[in-house]
Amino acid sequence: MTNFITGLNTSRPTHMPRHVGIIMDGNGRWAAARGLARIAGHKKGSEVFGNIVRHAKAKGIPFLTVYAFSTENWSRPPDEVKGIMSLLESYLRDSHKYRKENIKTIILGDKTPLSPKLRDMIAEVEQGSSQNTGITVNIALNYGGRSEIVHAARKAAQKLLDGELSGVAQIDEDFLAGCMYTAGQPDPDLVIRTGGEKRISNFLLWQSAYTEFVFTDTFWPDFTPACFDAALTDFAGRKRRKGGVMAVDSDASGQLTIDSGQLTVNVSAMRTDLK
């Protein structure tokens, strides 16, 4: 069933993504529509962030990545940037609550332009939550997908110069994936963008090669667990071929065979045989 208000499928999902990314867009427009300063939208958005983290954890999703502040966001008004950084500090100060809830926090991005105080807080939170297993929450801060790829390429080049690699042939997709900020994590199965825009805005470019996208007009401060569930249900209805072809054949005996290119399923025999 499709909800024509949200444009999303609202049937009960049959399977869950392992990794969900969210581009949290629309805070400023939400505030402007109410005659409020932009920072009011960011404050409301930070509350929604906490609610969605806990909801995703309750749904059993192992990884959640949110786009909090891009490398391009430094061009915003200084007061707005200061306010966003202040909200991040508040989150980090309150992170003990998340630790008690078995939530692991990782900050993705270039931390060098951040204040020494903020960098120290980040290090403390990452170390303090490193053994938590309930859900891993990646906060993309001073992050850009292109800059991440450059960072990974430089890391690979340095390993080559240091003699850790025998030659450039060792630098393949798996090696570069291990040089990304998200090394060791699965690529996102689903990315949700709120706020009505339909672009990825330099978010997880390397990791999103086969990601499914859901775009919603709902501003981030109005995004609820029900909206999240609707996106999950929409995802559950997608056919994820990853470049392959799904073929369905029925022979004279009435046996139905589904061939995805990697797995053949004989439905009548209820038997699965790997090719």
Active-site residue identified among 3, 27, 51, 73: 73
Q: What is the pLDDT of residue 5?
A: 37
Summarised one tens digit per residue, pLDDT across range 145-155 is: 999 999 999 99
Sequence ranges of the domains in the chain: 15-240, 243-275
In whole angstroms, what is the distance from residue 18 CA to residue 218 CA? Answer: 23
Residue 125: the pLDDT is 95
Q: Does residue 244 register a pLDDT over 70?
A: no
Maximum average pLDDT range among 14-28, 52-66, 259-273? 52-66
Average pLDDT in the 118-125 region?
95
Buried b (16+ CB within 10 A) or exposed e, 196-233: eeeebebbbebbbeebbbbbbebbbbbbeeebbbbbbb
| 173: pLDDT strictly greater than 60 | yes
Residue 77 makes CB contacts below 8 A (sequence gap 6+) with 38
Which fold would CATH assign to domain 15-240? Undecaprenyl pyrophosphate synthetase (3.40.1180)
Among 3, 9, 25, 189, the active-site one is: 25
Residue 135 has pLDDT above 70, yes or no: yes
Percent of residues, the chain, with pLDDT higher than 90: 77
Catalytic residue at 25? yes
